[in-house]
Amino acid sequence: MEEMLFHVGGVVAPVLLCVLVGYGLAALKLPFDHKVSGALVANVGYPALVLAHLTEQHVPLGAFLEMMLAALVAVASFGLIALGLLALLSLPIRAFLSPMMLNNVGAIGLPICMLAFGDEGLAYAMAFVVVTLVGSFTIGTWLPMGRVALHDVLRKPVIYAALLAIAFMATDTRLPTPIDHTLGILGGLAIPLMLLTLGHTLASLSAGVLWRGGYLALLHLAMAAGVAFGVVQLFGLQGAARGVFILQCVMPVSVTAYLWIEMYDAKDAPGVASFILFSTVLAVAVLPLVLTFWV
């Protein structure tokens, strides 16, 4: 048990320390441009990371697509359950549905899965990330905007990077070494920038309606654990795939969800901010337990 706890600490601590650095930048009021870092991650880091890693084929294409399907089932299940919960609690669906559906499978999920399961874990985690990214740029933006905008999805480089990577996996194609190394360097931007941005964002969020954020975070975790257990049984996931899927399901709420709410539905932004804060703090306590006893 002592050895396992030491391993769990080695997995979680680097992620938390990187987030803490971002928080410190905000506390010291040092320059940090969210738009620039977000643009770099979305347009350079994420696409390069997806292409560089998936074309190395750390998992078979069939296993990758199965994980994508399992992730889609999980996100859809989150949405259906959340609709019922929000209606029962009389909370605005436009503001709270996408945060209930979309987890922080990128900024926290990718490094946790990579440190816990290595390159194979990172590849599986990216399958979940692809599904969540599509969700973020569709329902995640459409709900607070109050309208559907398909052109937003078509302008995201990471979608094309994922499709190209899947094509390479299907045809067993390898990238030329110079391009592969270049993408590896550029892909290295993604995880550090995401963690720094996450920490900086958490430092600047208003706590808002604390009691609402607290009980929503607990409901979100209970929902995620139930869905994770059910979908793992449904797909018969084993080994690294099982561990990664469970971890991604119990990740905290995505900060990206707050940014869209703040932009398009500002009146409900404080409540969503409180939800994200409590969800992230809860994850600090829960993730070591999940890594120790469940994956």
pLDDT in tens, 238-254: 999 999 999 999 999 98
3-state class (DSSP) for residue 253: strand
Per-residue confidence band for 218, with pLDDT thresholds at 50, 70 and 90 = very high
User: What is the 3-state composition of the chain as percent helix, strand, coil, each rounded to the nearest 5?
Assistant: 80, 0, 20
pLDDT of residue 181 exceeding 70: yes
**pTM for the structure as a whole:** 0.85
pLDDT of the residue at 97: 95
Q: Which residues have a Cβ under 8 Å from the Cβ of 236 and sit 6 or more positions away?
A: none
Residue 233 dihedral angles phi and psi, to the nearest 5°: -70, -40
Confidence of residue 259 (pLDDT cuts 50, 70, 90): confident
| Model confidence at 204: pLDDT above 80 | no
List the structure tokens of 288: 């070591």
* Domain that residue 267 falls in: 2-293
Output 238 or 262, whichever has higher pLDDT: 238
Top-confidence range, 119-128, 236-245, 255-264 = 236-245
CATH number of the CATH domain containing 198: 1.20.1530.20
Query: CA 140, CA 255: separation in Å to the nearest integer?
Result: 11
Cβ atoms of 148 and 88 within 8 Å: the answer is no
Q: Say what angle helices 109-136 and 190-204 make with each other, to 10 degrees.
A: 80
Is the pLDDT at 59 greater than 70? The verdict is yes
**What's the pLDDT band for 4 if we cut at 50, 70, 90?**
low
Residue 116, C-beta contacts closer than 8 angstroms, at least 6 positions apart: 11, 243, 244, 247, 291, 295
Structural domains in the chain (count): 1
Give mean pLDDT, residues 37-51.
86
Does pLDDT of 282 surpass 70? Answer: yes
Q: 89: which residues sit within 8 A by CB, 6+ positions away?
A: none
